[in-house]
Amino acid sequence: MGFVELAWFVAVLSTGVAAGAMAGHAFLLGRFFNWVFESGRTEVFRQNYPAFMQARKPQLFFDNLFTVALLVTTAYNVLLFFTNRICTLSVVAAGLQWLFVVVFMGTGFAALERELFTKGNTSPERVKRFLSLNTPLIALSALLLLGSFTCLVLMRA
């Protein structure tokens, strides 16, 4: 296995794990958080979840999973460019990951999650905004990452 093939494998692996995590969030965790807030358990959440987040051991890889996938896929594209092997699928894969970042950060959802999950800011306005964005934004994010993963896999198919 050459360096380009190894880079492709790492890009596929990191993107697949990120896509799987986001799909899991869309199907399970996101729906759970919706239920917590919709069922009036906001105070229980505020008292417990931020403390849980602060008490856990650092998990740098999983905390930065999406960043790792983005950096690896972008680096893979740079490598392909310099070896004159760049292709449309690799560029689309990186583009979909960058679009994920734009959507996640640009809508303010990342900052909103940080406020809710680490600071415990469960004001009615914050909770209402979270509930309006959570399901559609997480579903879109999962689709973008799954699309990126598919493009990378198809490069070797």
| pLDDT of 61 | 64
Cβ contact 11:78 at 8 Å: no
* Tens of pLDDT, residues 128-155: 999 999 999 999 999 999 999 999 999 9
Q: Say whether pLDDT at 157 is over 70.
A: no
In tens, the pLDDT along 5-45 reads 999 999 999 999 999 999 999 999 999 999 999 999 999 99
Q: ∠ CA(4), CA(7), CA(9), 5° rounding? A: 110
pTM greater than 0.85 (yes/no): yes
Residue 36, Cα to own-chain centre: how many angstroms? Answer: 21
Phi–psi pair at 91, nearest 5 degrees: -70, -40
Instruction: Report the percent of the chain where pLDDT is more than 70.
Output: 95
156 pLDDT band, cuts 50/70/90, is confident
Tokens standing for residue 97: 């990951």
Band (pLDDT 50/70/90 cuts) for residue 56 is confident
Total domain count, the chain? 1
Residues 6+ apart with CB under 8 A from 112: 126, 129, 130, 133
Tokens of 47: 């008292």
Contact 57, 121 (CB under 8 A): no
Q: Can you give the residue range of the structural domain that contains 15?
A: 3-154
